[in-house]
Amino acid sequence: MNGTDWGTLTVNLAACAATAAAVLLATFAVAVPRGLHRIVDIAWGLAFSAVAAVTWLLSADRGDDGRRLLVAAATIVWGLRLAGHIARRSRGHGEDPRYTALLGKAPGNRTLYALRTVYLGQAALVWLISLPVQMASYSSAPLGPLAFCGIAVWALGLTFEAVGDRQLARFKEDPAHRGRIMDQGLWAWTRHPNYFGDSLVWWGLYLLACTAWQPALAVLISPVLMTLLLTVGSGKRLLEKHMADRPGYPAYAARTSGFLPRPPRRNAPRSGR
């Protein structure tokens, strides 16, 4: 026995699917009149926070209180920070080119296509990726070394993500950097410190759910899927495609790791100053 209350966990899974859908549908209702679908990126973190809060409430007296509180707090802190960062970054900007390109190829009604592919699609991803948060909350196993290892991985990931975002924001605030490639701080070690940190966050949360082999296997899809989304899905791949023709980017890419941090390659060409 792994100490998981599978019966009530099933109810939680349904409640969290409804919660994720409600957050994304509310975002859809706000975005459509404005014609600004980039708002959905803010809802991504908010939806995870909402799922974590609902899970914490529903799992009362069902799982270990320390694990429940830890996983809920870790998810909510990550989700709210991400939502706040994206909201600040997108203030005053128009539509994201990714959504313009996607919806420009819509077969039929553009709004319904956005609802299906962007909003309901993201709601499904939130539910699927949040499985470790839900699973961990229903385990009666006390916190052990693996759980504390998970928190350490989560903390490293959150730090990497937050510091990388802040470094890039400060770089862009300086008018002297207009048109230049950010290659300082963490960005000298990886082209995507924010995506790398994001991936670590979810591997850390996954470890919190690993109380036995059954739950560990059941929710492995979560960190794997998040990592794939960040590297070959809508994250790194699309961003690098957008950046490829920018002056100095090929040289930056030649000396800097694409994902896993490492020292810059020596003797590689440097971006123009």
Q: How confident is the model at residue 273, as a pLDDT?
A: 33
Q: How confident is the model at residue 92, as a pLDDT?
A: 81
Distance CA 127, CA 167 (A): 31
User: Do 176 and 170 touch, CB atoms closer than 8 A?
Assistant: no
Q: How confident is the model at residue 26, as a pLDDT?
A: 98
Q: How confident is the model at residue 101, as a pLDDT?
A: 82
Q: How confident is the model at residue 237, as a pLDDT?
A: 81
List average pLDDT for each run of 10 residues in the chain, which is 273 residues long: 72 97 98 92 97 97 94 98 95 83 84 93 97 95 95 98 96 89 94 96 97 91 96 83 84 93 77 41
Q: How confident is the model at residue 22, as a pLDDT?
A: 98
244 Cβ partners below 8 Å, 6+ apart?
Answer: 250
Rounded to the nearest 5°, which phi and psi values hold at 157?
-65, -45
Using the 8-state DSSP alphabet, how is residue 265 labeled? P
38 Cβ partners below 8 Å, 6+ apart?
Answer: 90, 93, 95, 96, 99
Q: How confident is the model at residue 33, as a pLDDT?
A: 93
Q: How confident is the model at residue 268, as a pLDDT?
A: 57
